[in-house]
Structure formats: C-alpha cells, structure tokens
Amino acid sequence: MRRPASTWLVLLLLMPALALPSIIESTYYMSIAVTAAAFCVLSVCLNLIYGYVGLLSLCQVAFWGLGAYATAILTAHHDVSIGLALIASGIVAVLASILVGIASFRVSRHSFAIASLVFALLLQHLAYDWTSLTRGAMGIPGLPVPELAIPLVGRVAFGRAHDFFYLMCAWAIVTILFVRMIILSRVGRALVAIRENTSLAESHGLNVFRYKLIAFAISSFFTGVAGGLFCLFISIADPSVFDFYYTEAMLVMVILGGAGTFWPVIVASIVFTFAPEFLRIGEELRLVLYGALLVAAMLAMPEGFAGFVKMRRRKRQRTEFSEALAGKS
C-alpha cells in the first residue's frame, strides 16, 4: 500500500486544473468541467462501496437526488443558509443509507443490488408524485446563488460556471482526501478483507455489518452534498436527478477505471465525462460512437485501466526475468 504522502503529491500535480477557468472561455465546456468534478465525487464514493467492500450499490443516485432536493427545499422554501442546507443534505443522505443498510446488508450481495435499485426507483417515483413537497415534474427552480466570504477579498458569488468550478473542485478534493484516508487506515484494510472473504473476516472478529454501514454512510454523505451543490449549479432540483443515467455513468467510470483502485477511477471519471463531448459529430452518431468506445474499452481492458496497466507491468517483468535467465545460461 502506498504511503499517504503520495496522495498529496498527486493532488499537487492536479493543481494546474484549477487554472482551467482562466484558460477555457466557453461556459459550455466549463459546465462540463463542473460535471466532471461532480462525477469524481460520485465515482470515488461508489468505488468505496463497490470496489473496496464488494457491494454493487445501485442507490448512490438516490443519495445524490436526496441531497439535491434537501438543499433545494431548505434554501427555496425555508430560507436556510446554503452552508447549513448542504450539511443537512449530507445528513439526510446518511440517514437514508442507514435505513437501506439495516434493511439489506444481511441479505446476499445480489439481493442487496436489487434492494438498492428498488430504493432508488422508489425515490424517483416520490419525486414525481409528492407534488406538495417536490412540485412533481416542475421541480423546484430559482435556487439561490452560493456566496462565500473570503478574507481580503470580500463576498464572492459562484453564479457562473467558471466560478462554480472552484466550489465543486473543492468538494471533490475534500472527498478524495477523506476517502483516501479511510482506505489507507485500519478501516480500509477491514473493508478489503470483507470484500475478499466475508466469512473469514467474521471469523477473525470483524463486525462486518458495522464496517459496511460505516462505508455506506461515508459514501452517502459526500454524494448527498455533491447532489446539493449540483442542483445549486443548475439552479433547479427536479426528478431528473434520480435518472438512471447517473448510475450508468458511475458504473462505467468505476469499472473501466478499475474497481478497487483509487486514482485510475478518478482519471476515468474525468475522461468519460469529456469523451461524449469530443464525439459530438451528430447526436445519434455520438451515442453510437460512445457505445462503441465503451465496448472496445471493455474488450481491451476487462479488468479496467488499472488492471490493464498491472497486466502489462507483469508481462514486462516476466520478459525481463526470462531474458536475465537466458543471459546467465
């Protein structure tokens, strides 16, 4: 396992990304950059559950949507400050994850995947039908613009995509650092042990249920806050935040990045957010090309990009070892 210092080194290398708002003039492409930062949070959180615990969670989009609606309702209907609303959105997502975990962690992993999907679909139907709270398909529009008081600068509004990019990036960095710290800790080693052999982990005294619940709560909190931030960015919360597109995108990023690895998943989340835009030759043709790209990637890298790199490294090492033996003989 790599030393925690490598986390800070990689983040330092990523710092030039903060210069994007001064390089990219297009609001459209900056909006995609904001979305890429949001998907970094989503993929890291899903990877914690799927890659390190071994649970295929299809309800991450439910926590994302809960966070969006909690922020929208509190800021638009109850005049709660944006900071408190975002914290509350994370807490609401955690409470929902605890309910889902208590109800489904004791069943098989396949049953858990189905239960998590049912929960996400249930929330989507509630968003459409509970019109007194969510306003149904019309959603909750006109959300306030986030503002932050910065010393020596004053109050800064994050109304433009170029400004909001810093806000979403800040949350992505906080998520990456915290989840990385968890993975490198004793909790992370316990999660990997549970993924590899649950029965063996239990026989060594690990409280499997508690560790699963901890990982689930952590991922839901960061996902919920990201959902709240994203609805502030688009200035509306509507049932589309529960769309299966987000689940599909998260799974693509985690699987093609390499489930159970860390940095490759983050790279994949950025690449596969921007990839469809570079294939925008025509709307229908773009989807065909993107689908072909995904199929080709899965065929070439069945274990994801991280697995492909590891396989190439092992092949090179075997070749070097064979040449060394041949040289001695």
Q: Is the pLDDT at 1 greater than 50, yes or no? A: no
Q: For the chain, what is the domain count? A: 1
- For residue 201, the domain's CATH number is 1.10.3470
Are 227 and 64 in contact by the 8 Å Cβ rule? The answer is yes
Expressed as residue numbers, the domain containing 50 is 5-328
pTM higher than the cut 0.85 = yes
131 pLDDT more than 50: yes
pLDDT one-digit tens code per residue, 278-319: 766 656 666 676 677 777 777 777 776 776 677 777 777 777
What's residue 50's pLDDT? 94
Q: What angle do CA 173, 179, 180 make, to 5 degrees?
A: 85
Flag whether pLDDT at 253 surpasses 60: yes
Better-scored residue on pLDDT, 157 or 84: 84
Res. 137 pLDDT band, cuts 50 70 90: very high
Q: How far apart are CA 27 and CA 160, in angstroms?
A: 8
Q: Could you tell me if 200 and 65 are in contact, meaning their C-beta atoms sit under 8 angstroms apart?
A: no
